[in-house]
A and B are shown apart, each in its own frame.
Chain A
Amino acid sequence: MSEEIWNKRAGREVRKIDHELFERTVLPYINSAHNLARWLTRNEHDAEDMVQEAFLRALRSFDTFTAGRDARAWFLTIVRNSCRTWHRQYRSHETSMEWDMDAQPAVTAWSDPEAVLIKNANSQLIRRAMEQLPFEYREILILRELEELSYKEIAQIVEVPLGTVMSRLSRARKELYIRLGQPTGEMGV
C-alpha cells in the first residue's frame, strides 16, 4: 500500500495540515501540557514522552479541530488521555480510584482535628502528599489549582458530569489536606 493510500484510509490529510497554524495553536500551551503530564506520571522522562506523544496525536487530528474552539482544553484532553493510557498500562497495580468512588457520600465535615492547618506548607511536602493520591484526584487538582480551569472546562477534559467534578474535587482536596496535616514521615497510608 502506498503511503498516500495509507494516509487516506486512516482518515489523515497530513499534507493539508498547516504546520505554522498548528504551532501557533498548540505551542502556547506546551507548559500547561508538560505540567499536567509531569504531575500525572510523576517523573520527567515519562512526562516528556507523554507530551511528545500528545503533540503528534494533536497534529494528526488537527483537521478535526475547528478554529475558535478552546485550544488549551482540546490539547490538554489529548495529553490527559495519553497519560491515562500510560497509567493503565504501567501503573495499574497502584491504588486507583474505584469506579463508584464518586457515588460515595462526600466527606461532609471539615472539622477533623487531625487536619490541622499547616503553617509551613512547603512544596516538597505537597509533592509527596500529591504523589500518593489516585490519578483521578491528581488530575482534577492540577487542572483546578494550577491551570485554574473552570468546573465546566474540567468536566470536558476529564469527561465526567459537572456535578462529579464538584464532588470529586471536594474529596480530592480533603484527602490532600488530611495527608498534609499528618506529622512528617507518617504519610504512608
Chain B
Amino acid sequence: MSCQEVCEFLDAYVDKELDVFTSSQFDRHLTECAACRAKYDQYQQMHDSVRVHMEYFPASEEFVQKLRAQLHQSGRRPAENIRRSWFPQWRVWAMAASVVAVLLLTAVLLRMVRRPSSSDVLAEEVVSSHIRSLLANHLSDVVSSDQHTVKPWFSGKLDFAPLVKDLSSKGFPLAGGRLDYLDDRPVAALVYKRRQHTINLFLWPSSASNSRPRTLTIRGYNVVHWTHSHMAYWAVSDVNAGDLGEFAHDLED
C-alpha cells in the first residue's frame, strides 16, 4: 500500500470499514512508514477527542409524553385529519398538482444545468464505485473465473446482457461480477485481476457513438473509457496506465 492510499483509506480505517485484507496492508504500512504513522496517530487522537466531546441531545421527557399522547389520540381519530378537516379537499389536490409540476420543472432544469460536465462527474462516480468495491464484501456478488457462470448470473437482474470475455490468456483472469449503480441506472460490474491488482469494468447500454479508449487519472487511479456497439465501458484500476490500456485493447478485439 502506498502513502497516498493510506491517505485515501484513513477514514475508512479509523471507522473500521476496511476489509480484512486492506486493513492488514494498512497496518503493515504503518509499521514501516513513520510519516504515515505520525499522521495516523494525530488523526485518530483528533477523532477520538472530538467524538468524546460532541454533545448528544436526547429528547426531553415532556416531549416524549406529548408524542405519546398524540399517538393515542390519533388511535381514535387520525391527528392528520383533525388538522386538515377545515381545509377544502379540492385545495389539497390542487396544491399537490402544483407541487408535482414544480418538481418536474426542477428536475428538467437540473438535468439541463448538470449536463455539461456530466462525463467528469461520471468518471468520479466510477472511481468512487471502484474504491467502494474494495471495501468489505463488495467486490463480487458472483465469484467465478468462468465467463459461462458470470454472464448468466446477470440475466433477469439487468435489462441488457453484458458481454463477458475470458482474458486469462492475456494475463487478465476474470474474478467475478456484481451489480452496481452508475449514471442513474443499474450497471454490470465485471471484476478482473492483473497480478494482485483489481480491475473493475463497468458497462451499460449507451446511445453515444463509438469512441476510442481515452485514459484519465483520477485520485491516483487509472480510468479508461470507451464506447463500442452502443455500450459504454469504464475500466478502473490501480494498475499502470499501460496495462489498463492493454486490457481495453484486448476487450475490444
A103 adjacent to B121 (CB under 8 Å): yes
- Which A residues touch B89, using CB under 8 A? 1, 6
- Cβ-closest chain A residue relative to B81: A3
- Which A residues touch B75, using CB under 8 A? 19
- Which A residues touch B138, using CB under 8 A? 162
- Cβ-closest chain A residue relative to B89: A1
Chain A positions 56 through 83: 1 when the CB is less than 8 Å from some CB of chain B, otherwise 0: 1001100000000000000000000000
Task: Give the Cβ gap from B75 to chain A, nearest Cβ, in Å.
Answer: 4
B50 adjacent to A121 (CB under 8 Å): yes
- Which B residues touch A157, using CB under 8 A? none
B7 adjacent to A34 (CB under 8 Å): no
- Which A residues touch B253, using CB under 8 A? none
Q: Answer whether residue B71 sits at the interface, using C-beta atoms and an 8 A cutoff.
A: yes
B54 adjacent to A145 (CB under 8 Å): yes
Q: Answer whether residue A86 sits at the interface, using C-beta atoms and an 8 A cutoff.
A: no
**Which of B17, B39, B66 is in CB contact (< 8 Å) with A151?**
B17
Of the stretches B124-132, B144-152, B185-193, the one at the interface is B124-132
Q: Answer whether residue A167 sits at the interface, using C-beta atoms and an 8 A cutoff.
A: yes
Chain A positions 28 through 51: 1 when the CB is less than 8 Å from some CB of chain B, otherwise 0: 001101110011000000011001
Chain B positions 63 through 83: 1 when the CB is less than 8 Å from some CB of chain A, otherwise 0: 110111011101100111100
A34 adjacent to B50 (CB under 8 Å): no
Interface bin, chain A: 35 or more
- Which A residues touch B135, using CB under 8 A? 151, 162, 166
CA distance A3 to B78 in the complex (A): 10
A117 and B67 contact, Cβ closer than 8 Å, known pairs A35-B57, A164-B128: no
A35 and B58 contact, Cβ closer than 8 Å, known pairs A30-B67, A126-B53: yes
Q: Answer whether residue B43 sits at the interface, using C-beta atoms and an 8 A cutoff.
A: yes
Task: Give the Cβ gap from B238 to chain A, nearest Cβ, in Å.
Answer: 15
B71 adjacent to A23 (CB under 8 Å): yes
- Cβ-closest chain B residue relative to A14: B78
B71 adjacent to A170 (CB under 8 Å): no
Q: Answer whether residue B49 sits at the interface, using C-beta atoms and an 8 A cutoff.
A: yes
Top 6 nearest A-B pairs (CB, nearest first) are A163-B128, A34-B59, A38-B57, A163-B132, A31-B58, A170-B11
